[in-house]
Structure 1
């Protein structure tokens, strides 16, 4: 994300009639975070109120500094960002939120707005788009950039069963374990995995899990090897642990 052309500040702030908008930036990619903060510093009507690199720190920081706008990466570690948005929507309804993502998908878009975001954009959009969205959401508007919208429309849709398989892969389960938990054969599970890799245009299961997590399709982080949930087998009708 780099500036393509100067983005003039709103006339009301240029006239000095309102204080600068206080923005908190939450992203675990330090280079991108630093670049955005440096460019925000060039906008006279915007000021950085703090930085965070994971969901837990972002929540604590926002509660402490009470910014006007939160700019947050969808796939940070720690507290899941969708949970962060839901908490902030309930406890700080006046806060305006712009979500950045590397992979715009229908699922990610719907979940982000349902959780309380006000704008959704791709990380490789021009910097002027982010500046515009910060100002727009602060005015009570919402936004979805045309580039992100195009990616959302073209992104693959997945079934409930495919999402179950994806969650199992993200938890680090083997094909046999996923099949047993879902009550399907290993061959059928591998068919779902192959179909998912084609839909997401990746060659490896590890890449599939990473892209799916970053796009919000699965909320199970690749490094998070939690115990699998109890799933009722369709073959036996019994719950498997």
Structure 2
């Protein structure tokens, strides 16, 4: 089974490559340190399963999954991340990922997850799956998500409006709606709340 490991932390990436290399049926044939490198690597190599981190420069792992699905890439994707947030699980599966596990998964379980995803099964960390079901779907609209992402920096409304190409009044409306949905009192709290749940 031919694998790609994409993670922006070289030490973590190297550890995953080494651990998977101990399995007789698994062969890591490519690595990437940025999300926007993955599709090009997949074009150059025949890969069965791509192991993707969520937070990478260029393109996050969930967006990479979405791009792979849109491009009709036959490679299956397994998200392997430090960020075990319920919202990430739902977004990753909706984007086409075959599985979602956290980085502290034991090596034998990670190898098993790779095999199961390759076989077409859905593999999700049990605790995260339960948390995701309890929490329910992301209540934010795509536009509210865009506005909150831009608001994470603490920038004033005028800067957020310019970043998302909306009027200041429209941005205020989206922020107000997002604050109501997240039960928060400020836009900074709403943005942090949404980020911590993996909704952004």
Give the TM-score of the pair, scaled to structure 1: 0.64
The equivalent position to 1:168 in structure 2, one of 120, 142, 150, is 150
What residue number does 1:32 align with? 12
* 1:14-163 to 2 correspondences below 5 Å: 21-153=1-133, 159-160=139-140, 163=145
What residue number does 1:191 align with? 185
Superposition deviation, residue 84 in structure 1: 2.1
Q: Find runs of 4+ consecutive structure 1 residues off by over 4 angstroms.
A: 153-159, 175-179, 186-190, 197-200
What residue number does 1:229 align with? none
Query: Does the 8 Å contact 1:100/1:123 carry over to 2?
Result: yes
Gap regions ≥5 residues in structure 2: 162-167
| Residues 158-205 of structure 1, C-alpha deviations (whole Å, 9 max, x = no match) | 643764552232365225755935235x999782336437847xxxxx
Secondary structure class of the residue paired with 1:173: coil
State the alpha-carbon separation in 2 of the partners of residues 199 and 157 from structure 1. Answer: 14
Gap regions ≥5 residues in structure 1: 1-20, 201-208, 219-241
* Gap change, CA 1:198 and 1:30, over 3 Å in 2: closer
* Gap change, CA 1:107 and 1:159, over 3 Å in 2: same
State the alpha-carbon separation in 2 of the partners of residues 107 and 28 from structure 1. Answer: 21
CA RMSD of aligned residues (A): 3.2
Q: How many residues align?
A: 185
| Residues 86-140 of structure 1, C-alpha deviations (whole Å, 9 max, x = no match) | 2322434431110123333343222211211100112222222211110001112
Q: Of Structure 1 and Structure 2, which has the larger fraction of its residues in helix? A: 2
| Residues 196-235 of structure 1, C-alpha deviations (whole Å, 9 max, x = no match) | 37847xxxxxxxx6x56xx3x22xxxxxxxxxxxxxxxxx
State the alpha-carbon separation in 2 of the partners of residues 197 and 167 from structure 1. Answer: 7
State the alpha-carbon separation in 1 of the partners of residues 84 and 21 from structure 2. Answer: 27
Give the TM-score of the pair, scaled to structure 2: 0.75
Moved more, 104-113 or 134-143: 104-113
Query: Does the 8 Å contact 1:156/1:199 carry over to 2?
Result: no
Query: Does the 8 Å contact 1:105/1:156 carry over to 2?
Result: no
